[in-house]
Amino acid sequence: MEQLNQSEMSATAVASSSLSLPRRLSRRWFRVAVWALWIICIIVSLALGWFYLTPQGTKLRGIVAEAVYTSKQTKYTWLLVGTSGVEKIKENFQRQAEANHLAKQDMSLVKVAAPDPQHILTPSTLINVEDIRGETYVGKIMYIKDPRLIHVVASHNPGGEKVSNIATRKNALAAINGGGFFLTDKTDDMVGPEFEGVERIMHPLGIIISEGKLVSGDNEAKQDIVGFTKDGVLISGRYTYEQMKKLGVQEAVSFLPRLVVNGKPMITEGDGGWGVAPRTAIAQKKDGTVMFLVIDGRSIHSFGATLKDVQEELLKRGAVNAVNLDGGSSSSMYHRGKLITTPSGIAGEKPMPNAFLVYNPAHKHGGYVYGAKQEKPHS
């Protein structure tokens, strides 16, 4: 009987031990979770204290706020610098935009050589691409030897079109994103096949000119533009459509600021006031060679660049004139059938209202470039 009781007690102890083990483990993991949460709270508190209370954090906060403001997320900027800080950024942005267009461009500084029938361009001789690297960024610079093969092409979709799609549609060798845009909700009266699958309507900022024709925009107001004349000279500044026609502008989109005018830097103080972000820019050397620049950003491999960084990259490569294009998640570069930069958007490449395309010289005929179906391209 005593032996039986001992067996029962032993079995009870084992059962009790097996039941208490999960409880002990659960309590242990609970304590670990509580400690981990406390450590995270302390780290976050210290980081926020540094970000908002130290001079170094305040400077970084200002850079981030500028990047957020210029990425069209203005409603969140006050979280970083308050409403007074947002007003200060806005005033600085407007003042910079007004001062930026005053520099008068000397069109004679760029000499584009006439086509040489003895040296016919091929895709490999027309375009050269090199990597660029800075302290906080990596990217690509594309050199295009003949600017007359660069054209602006607008999206055929009311919701915008990816740069790679525009380039494929036009059988182009290369492309970068162009001007800016704003979005509005689709209304009930927008019906038809072109609106299928479109949730928001993309409206290009300013003006679009393609092959000498006005594609969209106000033909009376002055616009901040970047484009090319019929002679292949990169032109930038603020003009009406009539003024552009007199100057022989054939291709143009709207964006700013100008980074280099007549070989001189436009940003002479600070970093440009747009924060650190992915960037796209276009520039031209005195011999007519055009440079497309795209810098990756908002990622581990590349944080992004300031406008001053972009300006310096282009100046040291001989830019006579240079203009910033739409950046952020819009930034993308296409070459020979694929993207060669990494867009920062969560979904990857995003739709755009227009793009700068480089046509294939092997398809050139009568001043135009023809695709696989031998049809004259149009916007």
Residues 259 and 174 in one domain: yes
Question: Which domain range does residue 312 map to?
Answer: 111-369
Does 280 fall in a domain?
Answer: yes
pLDDT at 223: 93
Residues 233 and 359 in one domain: yes
% of the chain with per-residue pLDDT over 90: 59
Judgement on whether residues 62 and 162 belong to the same structural domain of the protein = no
In a domain, 31, yes or no: no
Whether the full predicted model's pTM is greater than 0.85, yes or no, is: no
In this structure, the answer to whether residues 61 and 155 fall within a common structural domain is no
In a domain, 212, yes or no: yes
Q: Identify each DSSP E strand in 148-289 by its residue range.
A: 150-154, 174-177, 181-185, 200-204, 208-210, 213-216, 223-229, 234-239, 249-254, 258-261, 264-265, 279-285
Judge whether 171 lies within some domain: yes
* Closest to 318 in 3D by CA, of 355, 289, 275, 279: 289
Percentage with pLDDT > 70 across the chain: 85
Same domain assignment for residues 290 and 236: yes
Strand partners, 375: none
Amino acid 88: pLDDT: 76
Domain count, the chain: 2
66 and 199 housed in the same domain? no
Amino acid at 331: S
Residue 353, in any domain of the structure: yes
Look at residues 81, 165, 174 and name the one whose alpha carbon lies nearest to residue 128. 174
Q: pLDDT per residue over 270-324, tens digit each?
A: 888 899 999 999 999 999 999 999 999 999 999 999 999 999 999 999 999 999 9
Question: For tokens 């282009």, what's the residue?
Answer: 314
- 300 domain-assigned: yes
Q: For residue 87, tell me if it sits in a domain.
A: yes
- Is 33 within a domain? no
CA–CA separation, 238 and 226 (whole Å): 9
Statement to judge: residues 182 and 225 lie in one domain: yes
Using the structure block, give the residue that is written with the tokens 């007003």: 87
Domain end (from 35, 66, 97): 97
Convert the pLDDT of each residue in 3-53 to its tens digit.
Answer: 545 555 555 555 555 557 677 767 778 888 888 888 999 988 887 777 777
